[in-house]
Amino acid sequence: MGGAHGHLLHFHGHSAVHRAPAHLKVLALLVFMVTVVATPDDWFAAFGAYLLVLVAVIGLSRVPPTYILKRMVVEVPFVLFAVLLPFVARGPRVEVLGLSLSESGLLAAFGLLATATLGVIASLTLAATTEPQALLKGLERLRLPTTLVQIMAFMIRYLSVVTEELRRMHVARVSRGFEARNPRHWPVLAKSFGALFIRSYERGERVHLAMLSRGYTGKMPL
Amino acid sequence: MSTPVLEVRGLAYAYPDGHQALAGVDLHVHEGESVALLGPNGAGKTTLVLHLNGILTAGAGTVSVSGMPVEKDHLQEIRRRVGIVFQDPDDQLFMGTVRADVGFGPANLGLSGAALDARVMTALDLVGMADFADRPPHHLSFGQRRRVAVATVLAMEPEILVLDEPSSNLDPASRRELADILRSLDVTVLMVTHDLPYALELCPRSVVLSDGHVVADGTTYDVLTDDELMRRHRLELPFGFDPRTVAATLGLGD
């Protein structure tokens, strides 16, 4: 009953990127993202340059590009939204393959896609090359309020426990003949999530009790 | 006799919804004893445990640990003296590594540096988990996590070790390994359990709690062989288990 291994994003390695101090990597990611977001949508060459930088870092880290690519599915919702933009935006329109699209919508869609893609690749690279514990230490060194760091630490610790609980609830539902196939089944899913929320809340209370029992007084001693 | 490690007098407690969980409990545990706390579900066992280190505050009656009453003024010292191992190790182990988790208690007591590290490694050695110090707890097996949970409490050098259902969810090998560890420890033990063979194996004395009252307090052998008492308080031995034959081989009982 080891539970799913929590760090699905981490790719074990010993490259220069892996060994770089976590707080520098977090800072680099922050600076990189602010630069990307601040770049006007029509500076196409700049976006190309950013991508080259990322490709170079990934090459240096020896993380297989497919490893990053597979995990980019999180971007899908942004892609859907970006595809909609040229259809719904106003302003002058252009004909593309017989479709009438908004010019400003197309540009905004490109901007959104480029920013999101670069952001996702950069974050995945950080996650792939940094152990979660090192990341937390890095954030602490960057003087992030300790309460926030503590909350993140608990999130990392209990993510696999909660995921495992969710999986067991899913198996229990399926075993009783339930598969969510259409929106009429959604209320059942909603109730499952409600139950999971209450269970997690109660676990939080039990963890707190266990902490008090070992002399916790409100701040982490380590 | 000397001051008991644990002294509970007339302890009563009702939950905010009015449910009377404890109705006048008296219990003494002396140094070096191993006592099993038995009783059906809902008897108030967990409620009693939460009074021992001041998580819950008595409605009436008193609890004292080595003569020190459990009161707000010295909760920190009480929590050092009473080490509770909770049932679900995932509740107890919340830090990123085993080392940090075992260090959490002693660090709260003000230890740091080499002293802290020595305390942590001693506790991990006692439960045979020293090689796992730098692993995240959620990568360990359930039995290993239960052992680390025991170490987190041992690291505070408690005067009494309170275990809530220590054998639950363990496979037979892990259950036996934990028994070996508990036997090897030089500490007073109060063990809440439904696992009656485990109680017979590890605790010479048993206390039965039922409906918020102590209804029996004697040798584990006498309690388990009192069929009328057992039936009245919904206690049942597992199929095929007879304390009389086991006691003969262990050299207990009559």
Residue of chain B minimizing CA distance to A203: B91
The sheet with strand B20-29 has its strands ordered as B20-29, B6-14, B60-65, B68-69
CB–CB of B88 and A206 under 8 A?
yes
The helix/strand/coil state of A179 is coil
Residue ranges, chain A, pLDDT below 50: 1-6
- A&B contacts, CB < 8 Å: 87
The Cα-based distances of B121 to A104, A190, B72, B90, B114 in angstroms read 64, 45, 31, 21, 10
- When scoring B65, B91, B111 by the number of chain A Cβ atoms within 10 A, the one with the most, hence best to mutate, is B91
Which amino acid is present at B56? L
Per DSSP, what are the bridge partners of residue B190? B35, B162
pLDDT digits (tens, 9 = 90+) for A149-202: 888 888 888 888 888 888 888 887 877 777 778 888 888 888 888 888 988 999
List chain B residues with CB under 8 Å of A3: 138
Query: Looking at CA atoms only, how far is residue A202 from chain B in angstroms?
Result: 10
pLDDT of residue A159: 86
List chain A residues with CB under 8 Å of B94: 154, 157-158, 207, 210-211
Which candidate from A2, A207, A213 shows the least CB-CB separation from B79?
Answer: A213
List chain B residues with CB under 8 Å of A206: 86, 88, 91
A127, A140 in Cβ contact below 8 A?
no
Q: Is the dihedral of CA A51, A52, A57, A62 positive or negative?
A: positive
Which candidate from A5, A157, A212 shows the least CB-CB separation from B94?
Answer: A157
Report the candidate in B92, B88, B118, B97 with the shortest Cα–Cα distance to residue B106.
B118
pLDDT by 10s per residue, chain B, length 254: 678 999 999 999 999 888 999 999 999 999 999 999 999 988 899 899 999 998 888 889 999 999 999 988 888 899 999 999 999 898 888 888 899 999 999 998 889 999 999 999 999 999 999 999 999 888 899 999 999 999 999 999 999 999 999 999 999 999 999 999 999 999 999 999 999 999 999 999 999 999 999 999 999 999 999 999 999 999 999 999 999 988 887 766 54
Per DSSP, what are the bridge partners of residue B28? B7
A67, A11 in Cβ contact below 8 A?
yes
Q: Is the dihedral of CA B245, B178, A204, A198 positive or negative?
A: negative
**Tokens 């409990």 found at:** B25
List chain B residues with CB under 8 Å of A150: none
Query: Residues, chain B, total?
Result: 254
- Is B168's Cβ below 8 Å from some Cβ in A? no
- Is B97's Cβ below 8 Å from some Cβ in A? yes
Kindly report whether the global pTM for this prediction surpasses the value 0.80. Answer: no
Which candidate from B84, B105, B138 shows the least CB-CB separation from A157?
Answer: B138
Count of C-beta atoms within a 10 Å radius of residue B134: 11
- Contacts of B26-29 spanning 24+ positions with Cβ under 8 A: B26/B214, B27/B207, B27/B214, B27/B217, B28/B4, B29/B4, B29/B5, B29/B160, B29/B188, B29/B190
List chain B residues with CB under 8 Å of A221: 103-104, 107-108
User: Which residues touch A20 (CB under 8 Å, ≥6 apart)?
Assistant: A129
CB–CB of B136 and A161 under 8 A?
no
Copy the structure tokens of residue A78.
Answer: 């942004």
- Is B228's Cβ below 8 Å from some Cβ in A? no
- When scoring B49, B86, B138 by the number of chain A Cβ atoms within 10 A, the one with the most, hence best to mutate, is B138
- Is B244's Cβ below 8 Å from some Cβ in A? no
Q: Are strands B6-14 and B82-85 parallel, antiparallel or unpaired?
A: unpaired
List chain B residues with CB under 8 Å of A208: none
CB–CB of B137 and A213 under 8 A?
no
Query: Looking at CA atoms only, how far is residue B53 from chain A in angstroms?
Result: 7
pLDDT of residue B1: 60
Which candidate from B53, B100, B136 shows the least CB-CB separation from A213?
Answer: B53
Query: Looking at CA atoms only, how far is residue B105 from chain A in angstroms?
Result: 5
pLDDT of residue A146: 85
CB–CB of A214 and B104 under 8 A?
yes
Which candidate from A156, A160, A214 shows the least CB-CB separation from B152?
Answer: A214
Cα–Cα dist A52/A47, whole Å: 9
pLDDT of residue A7: 59
Query: Looking at CA atoms only, how far is residue A212 from chain B in angstroms?
Result: 8
pLDDT of residue A104: 82
User: Which residues touch B121 (CB under 8 Å, ≥6 apart)?
Assistant: B130, B133
Residue spans of alpha helices (H) in B109-167: 113-126, 142-154
pLDDT of residue B205: 97
